[in-house]
Structure 1
Amino acid sequence: MAYDSASQRMKITRIMICLVALLFGLLKEGAGFAMHKNFHLVSSSPYGLEKALTTTKGSASYSSRKHVFMEVYGNNMRVNFEAPGKKFGSVSKALDVVKNLFPCWVLSSAILGLLRPQSLIWFNGSCITWSLSFTMLCMGMTLEPKSFVRVLTRPKQVLAGVVCQYTIMPFLAYTMAKLYRLPPTLAAGVILVGCCPGGTASNLVTLIAKADVALSVTLTSISTLLACVVTPLMTSMLVGTLVPLDAKTLLVSTLQVVLAPVAAGLGLKVFAPNLCRASADITPVVGVFLVALICGAVVAGNAPALATLAPAAAATGAAVSASSWFSSAPARCVAALLSLHAGGFALGYFAPRAIGAYPAEARTVSIEVGMQNSALAAVLAAKAFSDPMIALPGAVSATCHSIMGSFLATLWRGAKLEDESVKELTDS
């Protein structure tokens, strides 16, 4: 179905206006502080704030106008900056719930793209590219410079995670593409997924699994920056023999979609920390919905090909046997991706354990390896390859690893760790 370019531009404009309005509202209401957090300011003397609050030794006062709660203990004073009322705390909790339902949004968007492709087909081309760029910008805004310093203090764990990321997944993806006898286009898409860095959702899943969040953030940061070189290199090496590949376009696209937005986000984190704090609750939610939109749009664009999952016999009402269903190329692609991510989770756990990693560290590496930045794979496939089918595995992969990762994290959350490494590693 053809869409008017003016109508498409209007939809994009509305989305951008909504995003800007949300960020502006947070800045205005939060006054530079997160909505649901208390920020403590400790002073050696209370006299500097006497104009705002009148206090006496050992007393506590509250200013409804400034929304400041101050306690004085001897010569020290603690000031809590709070948003008025309880509504901001409830909004923050609601946003957390929305963010935690990430697999549901991705799955729902993919189903919508398959059943009603006309509802998402407009979200393509530059929409997808800019959406992923904004998601990577949001990721950059969450990074801390100390995450990179941690590489020097914990080199063994970081090196093990990065090596697993860029050895297990690329070659496992190539193996699965051959094992399931995928056609060249789908095989290229599966391999591209394997060559991408860890997904941003891995940090949330790591938190749910009670693993090492600090290590997860560090691994995601390092693997994302290395992707600017490693992803085009590994993809060219493994995919170049299957389908025509413009290696230069792939490299430039990776730099544009990954390095530039992440660097910009990190710059905002350093030079505009209040902005990052004010938007800390909303940007992950926006990123979740943008990734879901990307996956749904890619599925919608390939809906005719996905229709082959139900052979022609289904159109006449005849029963479809399991063998005929599995023999279709898209079905084999789904099976290959499920095997790829399952293998990534398993090998990502046992490989670090084999070299003496703590269970918490092994869980973290497992999640980082098993969950890929599939949205990046879909965008790079659309920009560097001519066949739109190559982007399909990226959309399917996002659904697969989100559900598998969330299920695994739930199991691990209920399991008791053998040691107290989480606390030790967090403190370090």
Structure 2
Amino acid sequence: MKTIKEITNFLTKFFTLFVILVAVVAILVPGPGTSLATTKIGHLSSVSILLMIVLFGMGITLSPVDFKRVARNPLQVILGTVAHYIIMPLIAFGLVHLFGLSGPAAVGVILVGSAPSGTSSNVMSFLSGGDVALDVSIGLLSTLVAPIMMPTLLKLLAGKWVNVPFESMFFSAFQIVVVPILLGVIVHTIFKQHVQKIIDIMPLISQIAILVIILAVLSANAKTVLAVSTLVLVPVVILHNLLGYTLGYGFSKLMKMDLPQQKAITFEVGMQDSALASTLAISFFNPASAIAAVMFSVWHNISGSVLASLWKKNKNNTYISK
């Protein structure tokens, strides 16, 4: 178990570099990743199953106590979740029109903007000295409401480019997102004295699963990802993420939150669950609409690491756990 923890810590420390390495491999040697992307087990794609494993890992670390914590201090959690689902979709919508995007590119950007908070935000918040409890709570709530929010926002903001199968997308998102989390919570609750070994290994499994998802989705789009028409997504993705950080931070300042809470809100608003966005893109739309999500996944790990590092050096850096 000590070896597993050491490997996990190593992977966490250099996760951004591994993301970049996997992205390069996917573009240069797309064959294996493409085969994985097209593989199905039953009616679920391999990418969907990998994401369910990640979210089960999130659920198994939770217990009813975590939900009680949210219930005791719901205002900041609700405010953070609302800010996330207002700021990121509207930024995506604005950038799509500013850069004149349409079709799969526009759908992909708005799908990323409509996704819940990314799991990487928890790591970045911890590294920066943010309020991790608040960060995890917002991430949990935004993820649980994602089956409703994602198809609703996509229908409102991208309906002119694509027909959004609301009911199918809702049930698919519910199956992929909510069911694994609830199953994880149930397993934790029933076997709480025996799950620590599983909890210890799940971060490693989750990180590997995310890397494999990036490999699969990017490999499936390797021929088009470097096309001139696709490269326009690079500045869009970067601006989307950085504007999310900026407006998330500004919102937390406006709400007069303390510094650790400001850090948590900043990461929760600016970092998206791009793995979920890419999974739904492949399942329901043109596979090319998943490219924006993969680019976002690579970029937000880079920007998040840099921002966490800068904040960590701040003399006012304080970690608060509530």
Superposed pair shares fold, TM > 0.5: yes
Provide the residue aligned with 1:4 in structure 2: none
Structure 1, unpaired ranges of 5+: 1-34, 36-87, 309-327
- Residue of 261, 266, 283 corresponding to 1:383: 283
Tell me if the contact between 1:144 and 1:266 (Cα under 8 Å) persists in the aligned partners. yes
CA positional deviation for 1:94: 3.0
1:405 paired to 2:318: no
For residues 376 and 197 of structure 1, the distance between their equivalents in structure 2, rounded to whole angstroms, comes to 8
Partner of 1:311: none
**Quick one: which amino acid aligns to residue 280 of structure 1?**
I
Give the aligned residue type for 1:244.
Answer: N
CA distance in 1, matches of 2:48, 2:142: 20
**Residues of 1 paired with 2:300 and 2:198: CA distance?**
27
Is residue 2:31 matched to residue 1:147? no
Q: Deviations over 1:323-382 (max 9, x none)?
A: xxxxx3211111101100001111111111112111110110100111110000001111
After TM superposition, give the deviation of residue 91 of structure 1 in Å: 4.2
Aligned to 1:11: none
Displacement after TM superposition at 1:300 (Å): 1.0
Cα distance in 2 between the residues matched to 1:289 and 1:340 = 26
Q: Which moved more, 1:267-276 or 1:193-202?
A: 267-276
Larger CA deviation: 148-157 vs 278-287: 148-157
Equivalent of 2:82 in 152, 156, 163: 163
Question: What amino acid is aligned across from residue 207 of structure 2 in structure 1?
Answer: V
1:331 aligns with 2:223: no
AA at the equivalent of 1:331: L
Alpha-carbon separation, structure 1, partners of 2:4 and 2:56: 23
CA shift, 1:256, in A, is: 1.0
Instruction: Kindly state the Cα deviation for residue 164 of structure 1 after the two structures are TM-superposed.
Output: 1.0
Q: Which stretches in structure 2 are left out of the alignment for 5+ residues?
A: 39-44
Confirm or deny: 8 A CA contact 2:30 2:220 kept in the other structure.
Answer: yes
RMSD: 1.5
- Give the partner amino acid of 2:83: C
Q: Is the contact between residue 188 and residue 243 of structure 1 (CA under 8 Å) also seen in structure 2?
A: yes
The Cα shift of 1:275 comes to 4.2
Whether 1:117 aligns to 2:17 is no
Check 1:247–1:91 CA distance in 2 against 1; reply closer, same or farther (3 A cut). Answer: closer
Q: How does 1:310-321 map to 2 (within 5 A)?
A: none
Q: CA deviation at 1:399?
A: 0.4
Q: Distance in 1 between matches of 2:8 and 2:70?
A: 32
Q: Which has the larger radius of gyration?
A: 1
Question: Is residue 2:203 matched to residue 1:284?
Answer: yes
Q: In the comparison of the two structures, how many residue pairs are matched? A: 316
TM-score where L is the length of structure 2? 0.94
**Deviation of the 1:172 alpha carbon:** 0.6
**Could you tell me the percent identity over the aligned residues?**
30
Amino acid at match of 1:353: K
Distance 2:92 2:161 in 1: 14
Give the match for residue 349 of structure 1: 249
Please give the alpha-carbon distance, in whole angstroms, between the structure 1 residues aligned to 2:198 and 2:74: 31
The question of whether the paired residues in 2 share the 8 Å contact of 1:228 and 1:255 is answered with yes
Shift of 1:254: 0.5
Q: Distance in 2 between matches of 1:101 and 1:166?
A: 30
Q: Does the Cα contact within 8 Å between 2:151 and 2:164 map onto a contact in 1?
A: no
| Superposition deviation, residue 180 in structure 1 | 1.4
Moved more, 121-130 or 206-215: 121-130
Match of 1:202 among 121, 136, 151: 121
Q: Which has the higher helix share?
A: 2
TM-score normalised by structure 1 residue count: 0.71
Q: 1:250 aligns with which of 152, 169, 172?
A: 169
> Which residue number corresponds to residue 41 of structure 2?
none
What does 1:5-154 correspond to in 2, within 5 Å? 35=1, 88=2, 90-125=3-38, 126-154=45-73
Offset, 1:151: 2.5
Following the alignment from structure 2 to structure 1, what is the Cα–Cα distance between the partners of residues 73 and 315? 24
Q: Which residue of 2 aligns with 1:19?
A: none
Structure 2 residue 179 is matched with structure 1 residue 263: no
Q: Which amino acid aligns with 2:302?
A: I
